[in-house]
Each structure stands twice: as C-alpha cells, then as structure tokens.
Structure 1
C-alpha cells in the first residue's frame, strides 16, 4: 500500500511539472507574433514584494486561461516567464508593448557569461541605448540581445494601475522597422485629420461667429489629445516619466474630453430649452459624475480613476443617445446624425472595455476601433452641425419676422400710452416735489432731536463723572488740608528751637542761653514733634497719591473721542471705572472684581470706558430700584480666550422680563419715569460694542438680577472697523 501511495505522489508531482511547461516562442525573418498563454507562465506580485534577484528561484509561476496577460485592480504588477528562440538573421529581437497604459516594463535574462551563480541582466525600456530607432517613439520597446539560432529565457515585469490587456509582441528586427513605419504613417494621417477638422471649425467660428463651431473645435482638440495618447504619442513626450503620463496626463485628458463632450452637446443641441427638466437635471448630474475620477486622480487612486472614467464616458454616451433620440422623435432632424455618431462611439467603447477585460480578443481592429470610430463620429457631427445650423437659421428667421410684427404693434401701443403717461407723470412729479420738501423738513427736525438726545446722554454721563470725581477728590484734599495746620505749628516750634540753639552757639560765653534752649526742647518734646511731623507728611502723601489715582482714572475717560485704536488693559479700565463710580455706590452694595490676566486689547479706550461706565451704573440703578436690600453685590469677571476676551457684569438688581430684555438696546426705550432717562444709554453701549466687531448678550430674571456678557475680539486693526461718527 505504501508503495502505491509513493507512486501516486510521484505521478502528481510530475503532472505538476508538465502542467507548468510552455512552448518556446520561435521568431523567423519577417515574422511577428504575440506572446500568448501557450508561451508564458505568470506570477502575480500585487504588493511589489518580489525582487529581481529572487525571481530565478521562484517556483510559483503558473499558466493562465486568458490568451494575453491582463492587469486589473487586484493585480497591478505581474511577472512573465517565457523562452524565446531567434531563428532570424538579426542579432536582436524587438519586444514591444503598444496601445496600453503601462507604467513600467522591464525585461531580465540570465547572464551565463559570468562565473559564479546565475545572475539577471536588466533590459529596461527606459534605457536609451536599447531604443535608438526613432520609429519606436509611440511604443514601449525592449531589444533582447539574442544571436541567431540561440534561445534565451526571459523574465518580464509589468506594472499598470489601469485594467488593461498586455499585448506583448515579439518581432523580427526587419519586419519591426517596416511595420512601425507604416503604423506611424497611418497614425500621423489620423492625427492630421483631427488637426484639420479642429482648424477648419475654428476658422468657421472666426468667419461665421457662431459659438457652436468654437465648442466643436474645443471638443475636437480634446478628442484628438485622447486618441493621440491612445495611439502612444505621449510615450515620446514623457519617456522619462511614464508614471506622470499614465497616472495624471492620460486620466485628466480623458476627464477633460468628457467635460467638453457634455459642454459641446448641451450648447449645440440646447438641452436646457429642448428637453424636459428631469432629463436636463440628469444631464447636469453627468458633470458631477466626472468629478469622482478627477478627485481619484488628484489623490493618487489611479486604478479607481480609470474605472470611474470608463463608467462616466459610457454613461455619458448612453445618456446623450437617449436625449438626442427624444429630440429626434419631436421632429429635430439633425439629431439622427448624433444618434449614429454617439451610438458608434458607444459600441467602440464597449468593445474596448471587453478587450481590456479579456472578453473580446485583442487584434488590430479591437485595438484601433475607438480611434477610427472617433473619426467617423467627427464626420457625422460635422454633417449634423451644418444641418442643425440651417435648422436654427430657419427658426430664427421665422421668429424674427414674428417679433418684428409684434414690435410694430407694441410701438403703436407704447406711443399712445406714453402720451397718457407723460401727463400723469407731470401731475405726480409735482406732488412728489411737495412731499419731498415736507420730508426734508421732518428729517432735519429728527436729526436735530437725535443730536440733542445723544448730547443729553453724554451730559448725563459727564454729570455722573463730575459728581464721582468731585466726591473722590474732596476726601483726600480735606485730609491734606486738615494736616497742614498742625504741621505748620510743629514746624514753627521746630524753627524756634533751632533759633535758640543758633543764638547759644553764637554766644558760647553765655551758658544760660544753652540752658534755656535745652529747657525749651524739653518743653515742646522734640521726639514727639518729629514723630508727629512724619505722620502728618505721610498723610499728605497718601492724599496726594489718592488724588493722582483719581486723575489717572479720569484720563482714560478724557480720550472718549480718540480717532484710532490703541492697546488698552481692560482690567485697568474696569478698575478706573470703579474708582470714578466709588462715590455713587451705596454702602449696601458690594462690588467684587474677579479679573483674570489679559493682554492689552486694541480698542477705542474712551468708548470702552464709556460702555463700562454705563453698564456698571445700570447695575447700580437696578439694585437701588429694589424696595429692600439684602447682601446686594455686583460681580465683574474677565476671561481670556485664544481669539477674544469676555467681560461679565452680574448684579442682584430687580431684573427684567423677556419683553423688556428684548428691547433694552432699542434707541429711546426706557423703563424709567418720564424725565429720568433718555433711553439711549444701553443703545450707545450696543453701538460701541458693535463698532469693535464684538457682541453683547443679556440674561435676566425678574427679582433675581441680570448678567451682561460683552465679547471683544483680539488683534483688531483700524482697517477692520469704521471710525465713530
């Protein structure tokens, strides 16, 4: 039994070896053959972890069912292993990949001329020495050095982010040059036709002035760019940076082609006027659809971008066929050419997609069907353009004749109406002149009243300032005055004592004078006299300091009309305001400033002090309005934030109802009795805060109190605010 199992294992291993065996691809003179699945083994490397030096000993190569190698989203890098025999007379065998979006194509072969272990030699498509022939400029070419009647095993590494078939072609050197010359001639002719069509329609635009020709020329330009890159002309321009070409230039060009196709079709066929709103919205949605591959391309998701572009172009062609069919059923005859053109282009795209996914075999027809269908499409669109322009010209002529008849009738009616209107206008103008004169007088009176009220409010604030300053300055001055009289008496006694000692010093022969001076010194108690003088001087100094403090506080209020922003310490401004208001604060109100450290703030210093004065005085009056007072207080907080500061003023006053709170910043609104207030205090505060690009919020409840929160931005500049009137 063990012998049977051993034999079966050997058979399975041998079958695996035979299954991996491929045919040798033999190239004769004047022969060109594709590398199909019977000649190569494949090894997927989606994570790019396989190194070239390890590929010789990798036994994971396997055969595939597809005729050609194919790269897709889950397989962006693949290795191919195949054996090539040169049966031609040339010593090189060109290996090419054409009409595919290939980022990298590298070929390696085992170098048997060196001693030691086998090593791979690299034949890169980017090596200029291997692509000296100018006919190779639109393909990816590697020239394998292979002497006649010799064989070589090659390893090809291919990378692409696009789902595509890899048509690797093995050529004899003489046939390769001949075929490339013919293909370049055909490709040049195709691109020449695109260029002629674009220039011809651009010339028609210049002559006729119809923008449809301009839109068509732009569409042809991007179509020709797309097809030129499809033919491989971009490989020469970006031969040193194929990733830039494949990952950005090609997808962005195809996206622009889609946008120009939509732009040309929408303007040329006037979808906005000729199709219903739901269909037109779906047509507009196609613009958004192309934004998805655009974002995928910009963020580096190239594989997803190619799939989204294919889906977007397929959806665009299908939608345009549907919309143009609707126009054709409504009698728009030129639409039939667009149906044929976009229908043919849609079929070409479907065949190209099927070719890339291996559903349709790769050959010259399937490789070039999109290019040639684009040429046929341009011819059909040109015919449709001419027919459509004639159609619109007939419509324009008929509409112009109808418009001319209507215009003449309207002219007659307008002439009759003008005569009647002129008479009415004259009467109405006279009435308006009289009304305007009356309004001008009223406006002047209102402006005068407004100025008087604002000045009244300023005078009220000035009166509050004057009363506070007078009371505050009076206390230290009285203190100084009270100390002057005893200081004068002390100084007189001290001066008299000094005089007695001076007389005794001048008459040393009379000791009785010195004794009299010492007796006077004991009488006036000189030690007590010196101590009392120091006390009186300290009192005078304290009074002077308090007076200077009040004057310093008052200076900030003297800058109320300053024209520019200046750095100001808000905490200092609050303390100065409290100094001014100290005499106006009743004994039963406790003021608690809780001030966080703030950096200087750009503001109109005088205006901010005026606002603080009004807000704090408003809180004082709100507490005074209560019938009974228990533990009344006003708390002032400052807070620092990254881009602004806040000032919170909380009181235990009578509070406000919601109706009053919503109107307190209205000019002339007041809850006081007639003659007790102008109603402009909080309105002026609101205007000052608004001028500083700040905000003020109020929270209040009846019989509980109110809270005003002022927010001021940091780093305010003169260009960001308008000066005060």
Structure 2
C-alpha cells in the first residue's frame, strides 16, 4: 500500500517538475554580463567596491560562472540599467554560499549594502523572496548603477545570477516550495514506513535504510537552503559545517546500507573490503571539518562519492547469485547516478542550467529512495517465499521422516517379534537345559551323598570291625585270663580268711 502511495507521489513530483520546467523555460541567467575580479589581485578579501573601480576585471563567458572550491573570496561586478531595471531584484540562485555581500553603487557612492549566508545572523540577512538570496535594485537618479558581489564559501561556489521582479521571484519560490514539499513528503513517508517495518521485523537493513533516508533528505534540505529559511541551525559554527556533515553522513550510511543489503561480505568479499576503505576519507574529512579546513574537507567528501560507480558491478554480481532485490537496487542507483551526472554537467555548462537540471538531483534521489524501498519490499517478499519454501520443505521432511519412522517402526517391530521368538526358543531351550542340569545336579548330589554315606559306613564298619576282630581274636585268651584272675581272687580270699584266723589266734 505504501509503495503505491509513494509511486503516486513520485509521479506527481515528476509531473510537477515538468510544470516548473515549462514555467521557467524563458528564465535566463546573466552570467555573461558579470565581470569577475582576477585572482591575481592581492589582498582581495580586504578590499571594498570603491577600491575596485579600476581593478583587473575579466568578463565571464558562461551564463553561470563556476568558481570552484578554492576557499578564496570572490568579487563579481554587474552593470545595471538604472532605468529599466530599477525596482527589480538581483537573485543569486545558489543558497549554500556561506558569506555573501552585495553593494549597490550609484555613481561611485554606496547606495545600499546587503548580507546573506551562513556566517550572517538571520536578523541581518536580506533574504525575503524564498530560499534564494535576492537583493533589491534601488530606484534612484543614477547615471551609472553597479552591483558588486563579494562571496566566500567553504565548498563549491557558483554564481547563477538573474534579474527579476518580486512577483516573479515569489512565484518561482512558491513553485520550489511546493516541489520540495512533495519531495520531503515522499522522504518522510518512506522514512516512517521503513521505521515501522524495522520495529515490526527487527531487520537491521531497515534501520540502516532509515538512517540513509535521513542523510539524503537532510542533504537536499541544506543544499537548497531550507535550513536557513526555517533557521533550523542557529549556530554559525554548525551552519558553516552542516552541508559537509550531511555529505559525510550520506556517504557513511550509503556504504553501511550497501554492504549489508547486498551481503557483500558473503556474495562479493572483494567489493566488501573496497567499500570498507571508503570510510577512511570520510573520517579524515570530518577531522578537517572540525578544525575549519572546509574546502579540503569538501574535496575529500567527493572522492569516495566515486564509489557509486562500483555499485553497478557489485549489484550485478549479487544479482547473478539469484537475489532479485539486487536488481531493484541496481535500477535505483543507476537513476541516482544519472541524476548526479546531470547535476554536475549543468554546473560546468555542458547542459543548460535551469530548474529541470537543478532539480535533477532531488528528483533522482526521490526515485532512488522509492526504488530502494521496493528493493527492501522485494527482500521481504523473497524472505516470505524463502520461509514458505522452508516451511514446505520442513513439512515434507517431517512427512518423509514420519513415513520413514513408520517403516522403521514396522521393521523394528518385525525384528523385535522375530528376536523375541528366537529368544523365547532360546529361553525354552535354556530352561530345559537348566532343568536337566538341575536334575543331574540332584542326582549328582544324591550320588555324592550315597557315596559319602557308603564311605562313612565303610569307615564305621572298619572302625567297628577292628575292635570286634580284636575282641573276637582275644576272647579265648581273655576267657582264660578271666579264669586265672578268678582263681587268683579265690586264692586271695582264702588267704584273707587264713590271715584273719591267724590274727585271732595271735590275739588269743
């Protein structure tokens, strides 16, 4: 549902961009009317318009001068028509200039001085007609009216200057506001939706994508001057660095998201290591930015931006592994690369500098965000299909295991029955053998008992026979001895009687 809504908003964004392009097709930048002060002029940052009347000025040959990323102060001069252009406005359609001073010189005298840029407090900025700085051309009786522009930026500096009435500037500003309202509507809707998905599925890819959306949306916010329109950054220190900060964050979160979304560590280890090295220039850029080396930091931010070229072969390699979401990823980044190419080429005058090419980058980034969201959605669908296939495979495996289990149980039951029958037969055989052994044992014990009794009887008989035989063999001798003893006893008795008679005779 959210994807259909996002695509609908994106279609409306593209339609609205075509409307803007048709509205401003006649819009002309007047860079060829500008004169630029030669960089050879010494002490250029300390000079004032009065000192520059007879300086070495060079006429610009392009409609939008590209002054590079030098970090030097730049002076530009524009001769105005004091009659035809009085009451109009000089607009510099480049909101990221950090310090901008505009002097209106009427016949050699400073008529007005206006200020804009990150280094200027909001209360002192003369910026009333939208997100681009604009400065009113005074109505006066000048014979010669000249506009001097003094500019400095900690990043790339362009001077897209045009002269228009307030009504036209307000109308164009409103169109820009509507365009970016739609753009940020797309960004916020995708951000909230993917944040919801992160809390729902707890997939870190969604959190990394949310951080990427914040960085990309924030970059477009500051590049188009809306941070200054709404005074989102009150500190000049931060305001000078906010564009760089979002550039660094965009690069870091892009690398983080790309490496994890494409699973480069597994699918393409070489690209995984290469993208990892791109963290180094971002870190150095952040250090330089902290210490105030704005232009060096800006150059370092742009170096790892070349990594987007490597995303094409990396995505194709992952796509070939069967990951359909990598195809969406590839399309999204191809659109963004095309948008970046258009954005850069218009800065160098290769293609026209107009609203269509100015908005190529936010439009391309919006398309990229939607397509990458579709890639994440495809990843969800792919995960659902994988889980469904896994569940089906698990179910089939479970059914197969159940079937195998039943077959194994049947085989096991048959084996158990056969084994039980064998064991029963063996048990019966062993039982019979045991009974035989017990019977034999009883017989053996009985035999041993009888043998022991026989031996005992024989021993007793032997022991009895010896005395009996002794007695039997000596009975006659004993009988004779007994008679002798009896005779002796009789004799003794007779002797005793005789002794008693003698005693009595003696006593008598």
* Bin for the TM-score computed over the shorter chain: 0.5 to 0.7
Report the equivalent of 2:442.
Answer: none
Gaps of 5+ in 1: 1-30, 413-725
2:77 aligned with 1:63? no
- SS of the aligned residue for 1:341 comes to helix
**8 Å contact from structure 1 (residues 163, 357) kept in 2:** no
Deviation at 1:225, TM superposition (A): 0.6
Structure 1 CA distance, aligned partners of 2:281 and 2:389? 39
**8 Å contact from structure 2 (residues 103, 110) kept in 1:** no
Instruction: Tell me: CA distance 1:210–1:376, structure 2 relative to 1, closer, same or farther (3 Å).
Output: same
- SS of the aligned residue for 1:215 comes to helix
Report the equivalent of 1:394.
Answer: 385
* One of 157, 161, 176 as aligned partner of 1:183: 176
Higher fraction of helix: 2
- SS of the aligned residue for 1:95 comes to strand
Instruction: Tell me: CA distance 1:190–1:97, structure 2 relative to 1, closer, same or farther (3 Å).
Output: same
**8 Å contact from structure 1 (residues 340, 380) kept in 2:** yes
Instruction: Tell me: CA distance 1:86–1:208, structure 2 relative to 1, closer, same or farther (3 Å).
Output: farther
Map Cα deviations across residues 200-244 of structure 1 (whole Å, 9 max, x no partner): 221222334433322222211111111111221122245997964
Report the equivalent of 1:313.
Answer: 305
* One of 265, 268, 283 as aligned partner of 2:261: 268
Report the equivalent of 2:188.
Answer: 195
- SS of the aligned residue for 1:110 comes to strand
Map Cα deviations across residues 70-99 of structure 1 (whole Å, 9 max, x no partner): 2224463211111112666x9632222234
Range 145-154 or range 383-392, more displaced: 145-154
- SS of the aligned residue for 2:381 comes to helix
Deviation at 1:109, TM superposition (A): 2.3
Report the equivalent of 2:353.
Answer: 362
Map Cα deviations across residues 655-713 of structure 1 (whole Å, 9 max, x no partner): xxxxxxxxxxxxxxxxxxxxxxxxxxxxxxxxxxxxxxxxxxxxxxxxxxxxxxxxxxx
Deviation at 1:168, TM superposition (A): 1.6
Report the equivalent of 1:83.
Answer: 79
Instruction: Tell me: CA distance 1:49–1:199, structure 2 relative to 1, closer, same or farther (3 Å).
Output: closer
Structure 2 CA distance, aligned partners of 1:401 and 1:39? 72
2:277 aligned with 1:285? yes
- SS of the aligned residue for 1:40 comes to strand
Map Cα deviations across residues 381-434 of structure 1 (whole Å, 9 max, x no partner): 12211112222333344456667959x99xx9xxxxxxxxxxxxxxxxxxxxxx
Report the equivalent of 2:362.
Answer: 371
**8 Å contact from structure 1 (residues 95, 141) kept in 2:** yes
Map Cα deviations across residues 290-349 of structure 1 (whole Å, 9 max, x no partner): 22322221232211222221221222x122222111011222222111111111212222
Map Cα deviations across residues 589-648 of structure 1 (whole Å, 9 max, x no partner): xxxxxxxxxxxxxxxxxxxxxxxxxxxxxxxxxxxxxxxxxxxxxxxxxxxxxxxxxxxx
**8 Å contact from structure 1 (residues 41, 82) kept in 2:** no
Deviation at 1:100, TM superposition (A): 4.6
Instruction: Tell me: CA distance 1:365–1:56, structure 2 relative to 1, closer, same or farther (3 Å).
Output: same
**8 Å contact from structure 2 (residues 106, 142) kept in 1:** no
* One of 87, 100, 103 as aligned partner of 1:105: 100
**8 Å contact from structure 1 (residues 198, 217) kept in 2:** yes
2:294 aligned with 1:298? no
**8 Å contact from structure 1 (residues 235, 242) kept in 2:** no
Structure 2 CA distance, aligned partners of 1:331 and 1:105? 53
- SS of the aligned residue for 1:92 comes to coil
Structure 1 CA distance, aligned partners of 2:53 and 2:99? 22
**8 Å contact from structure 2 (residues 67, 158) kept in 1:** yes
Report the equivalent of 2:371.
Answer: 380
**8 Å contact from structure 2 (residues 34, 60) kept in 1:** no
Name the Cα RMSD after superposition: 3.3
Name which one, 1 or 2, has greater alpha-carbon Rg.
Answer: 2
Structure 2 CA distance, aligned partners of 1:283 and 1:36? 40
Instruction: Tell me: CA distance 1:237–1:305, structure 2 relative to 1, closer, same or farther (3 Å).
Output: farther
Map Cα deviations across residues 98-149 of structure 1 (whole Å, 9 max, x no partner): 345311111112255xxxx84564222358577474x42x222222323599
Query: What is the TM-score of this pair, normalised by structure 2?
Result: 0.65
Instruction: Tell me: CA distance 1:399–1:281, structure 2 relative to 1, closer, same or farther (3 Å).
Output: farther
Report the equivalent of 2:411.
Answer: none
Report the equivalent of 2:337.
Answer: 346
- SS of the aligned residue for 1:290 comes to helix
Structure 2 CA distance, aligned partners of 1:35 and 1:96? 10
Instruction: Tell me: CA distance 1:204–1:91, structure 2 relative to 1, closer, same or farther (3 Å).
Output: same
Instruction: Tell me: CA distance 1:212–1:240, structure 2 relative to 1, closer, same or farther (3 Å).
Output: closer
Deviation at 1:63, TM superposition (A): 1.4
Query: What is the TM-score of this pair, normalised by structure 1?
Result: 0.47
2:164 aligned with 1:171? yes
Gaps of 5+ in 2: 1-25, 406-508
Using CA pairs under 8 Å that are at least 6 residues apart, name the structure with larger relative contact order, 1 or 2: 2
Structure 2 CA distance, aligned partners of 1:221 and 1:238? 18
Map Cα deviations across residues 498-529 of structure 1 (whole Å, 9 max, x no partner): xxxxxxxxxxxxxxxxxxxxxxxxxxxxxxxx
**8 Å contact from structure 1 (residues 271, 280) kept in 2:** yes
**8 Å contact from structure 1 (residues 164, 357) kept in 2:** no
**8 Å contact from structure 1 (residues 238, 245) kept in 2:** no
Structure 2 CA distance, aligned partners of 1:119 and 1:145? 11
* One of 230, 247, 252 as aligned partner of 2:245: 252
> Which structure 2 residues correspond to residues 232-631 of structure 1 after superposition, within 5 A?
232-238=225-231, 244=237, 247-275=240-268, 277-315=269-307, 317-399=308-390
